[in-house]
Amino acid sequence: MKFKNGLLVIAAAAVIGVSSVAKAKNVRVGVVLPYTGGAAQFGQQIDRGMSLYLSLHGDQLGGHQIELIKRDSKRPGGDIAKTAVQELITREKVDLLTGFVFSPNAMASAPLVTQGKVPMVIMNAGTAWIPNLSPYIARVSFTMWQAGVPMGEYAKNTLNCTSAASGYTDYPPGKDSVAAFKFGFEGAGGKVVDAIPMGGPREVPDFTPFFQRVKDAKPDCFYVFVPAGNHASAVVKTFSDLDMAGAGIRLIGPGDITQDTKLQGMGDSAVGMVTVHHYSADYETPENQTFVAAWKAAYGADTTPDFMGVAGYDGMAAIVQVIRELDGNISADATMDILKGWKFDSPRGPIMIDPETRDIVQDQHVHEVVKSGGRLKIKVLSSISQVKDPCKANQLGKCASN
C-alpha cells in the first residue's frame, strides 16, 4: 500500500498471464471497492472472488496480462469512489472499471464512465436503474427487484401474509427494494401498512425503535432490506430481542439479510427466516460445490463465499472473456457488444447479461433458514428460472428511461 496524490492506493495485485507471448497486451482494470472501514468485509469477498477466478482461469486470457489497479472507495457516499474513478480514467488510463459495492458509488461514477468511454462491470450495487445511467455499464450481480418482487408474491401466496410492514436502509437500493416488495405483495392482493426508513448504510443503527413500531402494528410479515454485513446481524438480533416471532410476525427479505458470511453468527433465532435470492454457498449443484471447495482451499476451511464473492468471480469471468475475444485491444463499444448476451455457467446457476438492458438475468430461489448437523443452512423451497429485472421489464419510474 502507498499514498499517491492523497489517495490510499493499493498497488496492482495481480499480473497473470504468459508474458513471453509476442504481442501480449497489458490490460489495465481499475477496481473500486471498500478495502477499509466497516464495509471492508464486502471488498474482501469480491476481491477474493476475482482472484479465485484468475488463479483458476488466468490461462484463458489469450496470452495477455491483466493488471488490477485497486482503489479504496471506503464509504457508500459516492464522493470517494467518484474521485477514484476520475483518477483511474484520466491518469491510470484504465481499459475497464469494476467493483462497486454501494449503489451511490456506481451512480456518482456513471457520468465519468460515459464521458471517458470506459466500460464498467458492476459486481454488487443493486439499485435497478443504475445501468440506465450509462451505455457503458453492465451488471453481473443482481437488481433489488429480482428478489423483492418474488418475495412479495411468495409472502402473500404461500406464507399467507395479508398485511406487511417494510423497513429499509434509507438510500437508493433500500427504497428500490421496498418498492419492489410492495409491487409484488400488493400485486398479489396483500397490503403494505407501513414502510420505515431505518438509518443509513454507513453505521448500523439501533433498530429497536423501528422494530417496536412494527411489533405494535402487528403485520403478518415484516420485509427488511439492509445492505448485508453487520446491519443484517443486527436485524436478526433485534427481531429476536423483541420476540417478534412470538408476536406472530414473520421476518422476510432479500437474501442480503441471510448473507452466508453472517449466517452462523446469527444463531438459532435466524431459523425460519424466509428470503429470496440468487445465491447461497449451500446450493448443492456440482458447479457450486466445486466453487465452494476451491474457495475454502484458497482462503481457509472456515471461510465461505457469499453473493458478493460469486459476483466477483463471475464478473472476472466476463472481463477475461472480453480480453480474450478482443485480443487485448479493449474499446468501450466492442466490450459492450461482447457483454450484451454474455452467458456463463456460474456457481449460482446459468447467468446472462440481457442485451437490451445490460443487466443480469438469473434464477431466483426462495430460501428458508434451517438447522441441520449443528449449523444453520439455507434450504431452497422453490425456484424461478431466468428472472429479468422486473423494474425495467415493467418500465417503472427511473427504469423506464432506457
**Sites of contact with ligand PHB (CB under 6 A):** 101-103, 124-127, 173, 227-228, 256
Cell 455457467: give the residue.
Answer: 345
In the complex, minimum distance from the CB of residue 172 to ligand PHB, in angstroms, rounded to a whole number: 7
Nearer to ligand PHB, 33 or 330 (CB): 33
Q: What are phi and psi of 84, to 5 degrees?
A: -65, -40
In the complex, minimum distance from the CB of residue 226 to ligand PHB, in angstroms, rounded to a whole number: 8
Nearer to ligand PHB, 63 or 201 (CB): 201
The number of residues making up the chain comes to 402
Hey, which residues does 167 pair with through a beta bridge? 196, 224
In the complex, which residue's CB is closest to ligand PHB? 227
Nearer to ligand PHB, 63 or 148 (CB): 148
Q: How big is the CA angle at 357 (ends 152 and 43), to the nearest 5 degrees?
A: 75
The amino acid occupying position 311 is A
Nearer to ligand PHB, 10 or 130 (CB): 130
In the complex, minimum distance from the CB of residue 131 to ligand PHB, in angstroms, rounded to a whole number: 13
75 neighbors 37 (Cβ within 8 angstroms): yes
In the complex, minimum distance from the CB of residue 55 to ligand PHB, in angstroms, rounded to a whole number: 25
**Gap between the Cα atoms of 314 and 184, Å rounded:** 28
Nearer to ligand PHB, 101 or 378 (CB): 101
Nearer to ligand PHB, 141 or 321 (CB): 141
Going from the C-alpha of 391 to that of each of 74, 137, 359, the distances in angstroms are: 29, 17, 11
Cell 425460519: give the residue.
Answer: 272
In the complex, minimum distance from the CB of residue 358 to ligand PHB, in angstroms, rounded to a whole number: 16
In the complex, minimum distance from the CB of residue 176 to ligand PHB, in angstroms, rounded to a whole number: 8
Cell 446472462: give the residue.
Answer: 352
Joined grid coordinates for residue 271: 431459523
